[in-house]
């Protein structure tokens, strides 16, 4: 699958995404548009391997990565082998089923095979959360797995260094947590926002990743990452969310 030339009058991918109705929210509308028009930008989208296949909602994110790559930007495809150990409470009315490490790894492998059908990857690129073996090849995407840097973290150090930047009061006001409070939100899931924010910080620090994209249900998590990069790295980064595909009942389209 590929996107043909001359399908839009615009030369800035921001305008193309806007024209096609993808963009729902941004952290800095004009700054993002200027950035995407001025330079080649590294950006990331995360996909938690909670099943061995992608769903049609994920396909929207894949299309956006294809557009970004076509216009000269570098997609960082993050497969959440680490965050899947916890489970994202966003858009959920109940806690996700726990999966074994073997199941998660199998799902990660299946995800990569599916991404290969749509995205052109630099297969020699490696990143382990401490540094990369080389710069991404021009015009190619890279794939990373956050298990490589989240799993070895020391919990006490993580809470001291990262957790101190997060206000519980603000977190409880986030939609991803607020809708779960009536039925119960586990402390395990409460850590998810910190982990996703840490992903953005690590990619910004080591790979000069300047943007995080996601579905509109990821807005609170993306804001957490933008704020963490500012506090820990003194760097300005940006977030953008896209409209969710929903069922006829207005519910998020999921893997089931």
Q: How do residues 147-163 score in pLDDT, each as one tens digit?
A: 999 999 999 999 999 99
Q: Give the Cα separation of 210 and 234 in Å (integer).
A: 13
Q: Does residue 99 lie within any of the structural domains?
A: yes
The pLDDT value given to residue 1: 55
Residue span of the structural domain in which 70 resides: 14-241
pTM of the model: 0.90
- pLDDT tens for 47-84 read 999 888 876 777 889 999 999 999 999 999 999 999 99
Q: Does residue 130 lie within any of the structural domains?
A: yes
Q: Does residue 3 lie within any of the structural domains?
A: no
Share of the chain above pLDDT 70, in %: 91
User: By the 8 A CB rule, do 111 and 117 touch?
Assistant: no
- pLDDT tens for 171-203 read 888 877 777 777 777 888 888 899 999 999 999
Q: Does residue 63 lie within any of the structural domains?
A: yes
Q: Please, where are the H alpha helices in 39-154?
A: 56-70, 101-115, 147-150
Planar angle of CA 75, 77, 81, nearest 5 degrees? 165
Longest dimension (CA), the chain: 53
Q: Does residue 30 lie within any of the structural domains?
A: yes
The pLDDT value given to residue 245: 64
The pLDDT value given to residue 95: 59
| Plot region of 6 (φ>0 → left; ψ -120 to 50 → alpha; else → beta) | left
Q: Is the pLDDT of residue 112 over 60?
A: yes
- How many domains is the chain partitioned into structurally? 1
Q: Does residue 195 lie within any of the structural domains?
A: yes
For the chain, what is the mean pLDDT?
88
The pLDDT value given to residue 249: 56
Q: Does residue 127 lie within any of the structural domains?
A: yes
- pLDDT tens for 126-142 read 999 889 999 999 889 99
Q: Does residue 207 lie within any of the structural domains?
A: yes
Using 50, 70 and 90 to split pLDDT, how confident is the model at 99? confident
Q: Give the Cα separation of 121 and 220 in Å (integer).
A: 29
Higher pLDDT among residues 56 and 143, named by residue = 143
The pLDDT value given to residue 22: 92
As a whole number, mean pLDDT of residues 236-253 equals 74
The pLDDT value given to residue 255: 47
Query: What is the distance, to the nearest Å, from the Cα of residue 253 to the centroid of all Cα atoms in its chain?
Result: 17
Q: Which CATH number goes with the domain that contains 72?
A: 3.40.50.620
Instruction: With CA atoms as reference, report the closest residue to 162 among 126, 192, 140, 128.
Output: 192
Query: What residues contact residue 61 under an 8 Å CB cut-off, 6+ apart?
Result: 45, 47, 213, 214, 215, 242
The pLDDT value given to residue 185: 77
Instruction: With CA atoms as reference, report the closest residue to 224 among 210, 243, 239.
Output: 239
The pLDDT value given to residue 115: 92
């Amino acid at each position: 699958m590929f996107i043909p030339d001359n399908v839009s009058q615009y030369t800035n991918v921001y305008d193309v995404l806007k024209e096609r109705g993808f963009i729902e929210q941004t952290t800095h509308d004009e700054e993002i548009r200027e950035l995407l028009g001025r330079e080649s930008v590294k950006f990331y989208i995360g996909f938690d391997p909670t099943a061995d296949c992608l769903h049609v909602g994920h396909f929207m994110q894949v299309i956006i990565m294809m557009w970004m790559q076509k216009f000269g930007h570098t997609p960082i495809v993050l497969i959440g082998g680490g965050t899947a150990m916890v489970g994202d409470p966003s858009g959920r009315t109940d806690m996700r089923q726990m999966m074994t490490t073997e199941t998660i790894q199998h799902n990660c492998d299946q995800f990569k095979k599916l991404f290969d059908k749509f995205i052109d990857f630099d297969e020699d690129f490696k990143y382990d959360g401490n540094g990369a073996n080389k710069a991404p090849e021009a015009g190619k995407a890279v794939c990373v797995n956050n298990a490589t840097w989240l799993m070895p973290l020391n919990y006490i150090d993580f809470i001291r260094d990262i957790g101190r930047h997060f206000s519980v009061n603000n977190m409880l006001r986030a939609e991803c947590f607020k809708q779960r409070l009536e039925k119960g939100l586990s402390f395990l899931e409460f850590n998810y926002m910190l982990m996703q924010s840490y992903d953005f910080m690590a990619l910004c620090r080591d790979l000069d990743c300047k943007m995080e994209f996601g579905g509109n249900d990821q807005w609170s998590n993306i804001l957490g990452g933008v704020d963490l990069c500012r506090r820990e790295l003194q760097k300005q980064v940006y977030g953008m969310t896209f409209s969710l595909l929903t069922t006829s009942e207005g519910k998020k389209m999921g893997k089931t």
